[in-house]
């Protein structure tokens, strides 16, 4: 449970817990009721490290896609969703490098 008030790190005034709706990636990701603190004295707005970690997790889960492996000749392939194609300006013929990071993780690098 988040505290309703904490001490401002800049002026030592009282900062109150507030919420806002965040719209990210041209409106493709919306995070509702994202918490932050606003100081009543200096008007500084800030988030705690816990709030930032939670927001990061929400963003990553909100912009993740699960795709099945499909057969393409003698190879396996994946399709790329339209949102990712538009966000990364992908086009047919563009190269993507696959970098194995572990047994369960592969990094895709757009070249």
Q: How confident is the model over 89-102, as pLDDT tens digits? A: 899 999 999 999 99
> Model's pTM, two decimal places?
0.56
4: left (phi over 0), alpha (psi -120 to 50) or beta: alpha
The pLDDT of 35-44, averaged and rounded, is 97
Same domain, 24 and 41: yes
Same domain, 48 and 83: no
Query: How confident is the model at residue 30, as a pLDDT?
Result: 79
Name the more confident of 58 and 69. 69
| Residues counted in the chain | 111
Return all residues near 55 (Cβ < 8 A) that are at least 6 apart: 22, 31, 34, 47
Total structural domains in the chain?
Answer: 2
Q: Whole domain around residue 94: which residue ranges?
A: 70-110
End-to-end CA distance of the chain: 44
Same domain, 77 and 55: no
């Amino acid at each position: 449970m988040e505290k309703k008030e904490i001490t401002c790190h800049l002026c030592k005034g009282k900062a109150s817990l507030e919420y806002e709706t965040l719209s990210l990636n041209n409106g493709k990701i919306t995070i509702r009721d994202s918490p932050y603190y606003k100081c009543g004295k200096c008007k500084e707005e800030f988030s705690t490290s816990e709030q930032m970690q939670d927001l990061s997790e929400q963003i990553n889960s909100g912009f993740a896609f699960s795709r099945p492996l499909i057969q393409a000749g003698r190879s396996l392939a994946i399709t790329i969703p339209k949102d990712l194609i538009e966000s990364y300006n992908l086009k047919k013929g563009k190269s993507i490098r696959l970098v194995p990071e572990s047994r369960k993780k592969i990094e895709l690098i757009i070249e």
